[in-house]
Chains A and B, each alone.
Chain A
């Protein structure tokens, strides 16, 4: 198993100077255009890159936007990425942009839309995405699958490996009162992150806090090629993030 971190501009210099302790870097597709090209060229030469999308909205009955897929294809090609991923979310409907990842109704209609969108993505980008479970504060209405059986059905229907976000799974299990079992499906990549407690003892997956013990404990039960640490702000000293990677190595 390899261990890497999500590329963020604020962490760029520290990441570039710590590549002896980082096996791979995950680059957000939507931030590629705004990123420092010299740094990205250096990354491309020196560490495997995986590309992560947040705006395709593949888990939808509506068709994926072709321009966004073309943009994803360009980033995957430019970075010579070893893989790419997107969320099991919808981000727009009827022209309304939600602005972030919304958990879709977990039902057969969404599954059929997802299959069409994944086929289109595979044709445009050239490879299939890994598909990531999302955190949600709302148990999506119109659902006929529970969270774990949904992830297993997605894997069977699309043939895609999962990007299993352990903190998302942990947050949803806490928010909706189920056991955070590992889905019986191939997992290519794992995300680890931290969130915070909010009203009603819910967990908000904000990626602004350290990885909780429960997530490290879940690592031992999953086999994957790669573990990525996600941190989106309130950055601690970089040594602390490297320490979290070390802890993940020990836990896996």
Chain B
């Protein structure tokens, strides 16, 4: 996955997001991100990720 594809998957795929929140670095590596990128995404604010994903889902449902 590219970086954008990885973020899009986090925002749209509930199961992928759950795996990531449970084990961020391993999920990022398994998705093809580099060690540096995996370390960086592992520092994401997981609560903000949940809130953003919920907001995106509401927008998708409205369409």
Contacts and interface: CB of A to CB of B under 8 A. Distances in A.
A230 B49 CA distance: 25
Contacts, number: 81
A137 B48 contact: yes
Interface string A194-206: 0000111010100
B47 A200 contact: yes
A148 to B, nearest CB: 20
A105 B43 CA distance: 15
Contacts of A210: none
Interface string B2-13: 111101110111
A94 B2 contact: yes
Name the interface size band of chain B.
Answer: 20 to 34
B51 interface: yes
A105 B12 CA distance: 17
B55 A199 contact: no
Contact of B7 (A141, A199, A202): A141
Interface residues of A, number: 28
Contact of A93 (B5, B52, B57, B59): B5
B4 A61 contact: yes
Contacts of A137: 48, 51-52, 55
A97 interface: yes
A142 interface: yes
Interface of A: 60-62, 90, 92-94, 96-100, 102, 104-105, 136-142, 175, 198-200, 202, 204
10 contacts: A94-B2, A98-B11, A98-B12, A99-B12, A99-B57, A100-B55, A100-B56, A102-B7, A138-B45, A200-B48
